[in-house]
Structure 1
Amino acid sequence: MSPAPDERNRIRAAMNRILSGKPEHSNGALTIVALAAEAQVPRNALTQRHPDLKNDFYDQVRARGQMPDSERRLRQQVRRLKELRAADAEGIARLKADVEALVGALHQSVTENRVLRQKLSEGSGVVRVLPQRRDGDTTHPVRPI
């Protein structure tokens, strides 16, 4: 499909309407989609046939101290991703600390178990084997220590 002969003029007129806040055929958003709708041309007219007009539109938006909607959305997404990354880093730090604490507790238990087994094999000291509690078994109640 070949472009309409007045396509560039329609795009420029649409740019002026959107930038002046008086859109007639779109929602007036500062996006290429809105610009294409306002100019009543397909979006690829701006992205493929007239990228210079697309770039000019974004340059004019920035020159007025505004930010294109697509850039605003991307900046919001970047902000959210940075927050998630920071939260993940905190979670990872907590997990690393938990691992260190658990390794320490395991080491202590292994050491105590080794000492008790040694006492049991030497016959020195008093080591009693506690009865195993089976689920539902009330004959050997387990008391908290």
Structure 2
Amino acid sequence: MDRLLAGTPLRSDGALTVLALAAEADVKRHVLTHRHTDLKDEFYAKVRAQGRVPDSERKLRAELKKTKERLANLIEENKRQQAEIETFARVVNVLTVENHQLRGQSGPKRAPVVALRPAPDTDS
């Protein structure tokens, strides 16, 4: 533990993790995480007391930051799509009303259908 905290590891990569601690102590990881949890907790307490953040926590914080950014982007996208949906709903409602009105007309009251033709070409 002291070698890791001093930054002079002999058997590990020097990361401030339980895995590196187990390697330095020449024991299997599960020994620290299951049998000697007090040593694991003491190690992390000493790491924090030095004002350092364990690598595992640093990775989790980075992942949390990315996840929060992604969530914010998805919330904005959701709001934009919701606004589009509301606009499309209004358009559908207007078209439904117009369609109903057009189908309700009979005989000469019916609006004439005008075919759209391209304007004559004046360049010739």
TM range (shorter): 0.7 to 0.9
Alignment partners' CA distance in 1, 2:57 and 2:75: 27
Q: CA deviation at 1:89?
A: 0.7
Question: Residue 108 of structure 2 corresponds to which residue in structure 1?
Answer: 123
Q: Is the 8 Å Cα contact of residues 32 and 46 (structure 1) preserved in structure 2?
A: yes
In the other structure, the counterpart of 1:57 is 43
Q: CA RMSD in A?
A: 1.8
Counterpart residue number, 1:80: 66
- Percent of matched pairs sharing the same residue: 45
TM-superposed deviation, 1:118 = 2.5
Find the counterpart in structure 2 of residue 94 from structure 1.
Answer: 80
Give the stretch that moved more between structures: 88-97 or 54-63: 88-97
After superposition, the C-alpha distances for 1:9-67 in whole angstroms (9 at most, x for unaligned) are xxxxxx10011010011000000001111111100111112111110000000000000
Normalised to the residue count of structure 2, the TM-score between the two structures is 0.86
Stretches of 4+ aligned residues off by more than 4 angstroms: none
Count of paired positions: 118
Task: Classify 1:126/1:50 alpha carbon distance in 2 versus 1 (closer, same or farther; 3 Å).
Answer: closer
- 1:32–1:43 Cα contact (<8 Å) kept: yes
The match for 2:31 is 45
On the 8 A contact 2:102/2:110 being kept in 1, the answer is no
For structure 2, the 5+ residue unaligned runs are 119-124
